[in-house]
Structure formats: C-alpha cells, structure tokens
Amino acid sequence: MDYAVGVLELRSIARGIEASDAALKSAGIRLISAQPICPGKFELVITGELAQVNAAMDRVKAGFEENLLDAVLLGRIDPAVVKALLGAQPEAKRGALGTIETFTVASVILAADCAVKSADVEILELRTARGMGGKGVVLLTGDVADVTAAVEAGARYAKEQGVFVGQSILGAPHEELWNFL
C-alpha cells in the first residue's frame, strides 16, 4: 500500500477540532495528529491511501476555508515515516546520530522521507510543531556513512524549499545523550 500524508494548518483551535472530526467522518483515514500548536494554531495530520487522504483534505478545504492557513498532500511516503509520525520508535542501534530541522511540519515529513529513501537509516524520532514554534525535527540513526548520506539528502530538500533550519551528524554520541533521546 502506498501511504499518503495530509497536513492541514488552521488559524483556529476550535475550528481545527471541528475540521478534524469532519476529516475523520469523510473517508477511511487515520489520524496522526490533531492538536494546538504555537502560536495559537491547530495542526491536523492524517494518513491513509492517497484517494482517501485527498477526499478528507477536500472536505476540510471546502468546509473550513476561512480558517485554513495551509494544506499539503504528500503522496508515496515511506512506511517508516508514517510509523514514526504515529509514535513508533524502533529499538535503534546506537550508531551515528543525524538531525534535520525545518521550519514547517510538511517539510520535515518530506525531509525524513528523502532521508530514509536515500540510505539505510532508521528514524529514531520525528517531531512536529508542538513545543517547537511550528518547526519540525527528525533524528536518524545508523552507520556514519548512511546517516551522513541521509541527512544530506533530507537537508538538500529542505534547503531547496527554503525551509531549512539546521542539521547535525554525531559519529558516536555520548552514552548519556542516548538516554535522553
């Protein structure tokens, strides 16, 4: 199955909650995130088959147009990215650690997708918006060469879109750092 992810950002928390309900009732989608984000906006992230995600997004666009700030449909997302968005974290091997930080939710999802499709890495964490001023960050792990290639691919995408914040690669993170990630 090809996964799609829909990212919708609304200017009203109350209307965002309504939009989330409408999206869920319109198609067989799965909710990844429906929450207030800084500064006083609402993030709605959904997944499912492309046609279903598209239908749910169309319903939100039609019914909540006056509150919609952004809507992005991301098709053919790697299943590892969807799992990370849903909160699944693998028992990550403690190799190198790579980080990509972007200004938007959609861009970090696409940067993560570019990264996992370009090298043999695992997503340690994929964090979007909440508590980060609307930014996104993905943490990748694996062998140094693979992490380097993955971070470069994801960062290149973000730079091309003008939403890049930063990147880092640690070849051998301190053991204590791993305990906090």
Task: Write out the chain's pLDDT in tens, 181 residues.
Answer: 668 999 999 999 999 999 999 999 987 899 999 999 888 889 999 999 999 999 999 999 999 999 998 889 999 999 999 889 888 666 667 789 999 999 988 889 999 999 999 999 999 999 887 777 778 899 999 999 999 999 999 999 999 999 999 999 999 999 899 888 7
Tokens matching residue 124 = 């340690």
* CA–CA distances in Å: residue 89 to residues 78, 142, 151, 180: 15, 14, 18, 14
Range(s) within the chain of domains with CATH label 3.30.70.1710: 3-77, 83-180
CATH 3.30.70.1710 matches 3-77: yes
Segment 146-152 long-range contacts (CB within 8 Å, at least 24 positions apart): 146/96, 146/119, 146/120, 146/121, 147/95, 147/96, 147/97, 147/98, 147/119, 147/121, 148/96, 148/98, 149/118, 149/119, 150/98, 150/115, 150/116, 150/118, 150/119, 150/121, 151/98, 151/99, 151/100, 151/115
pTM: 0.85
Residue 90: per-residue pLDDT: 64
CATH 1.10.760.10 matches 83-180: no
- HSE-up of residue 116 (Cα within 13 Å, Cβ side): 22
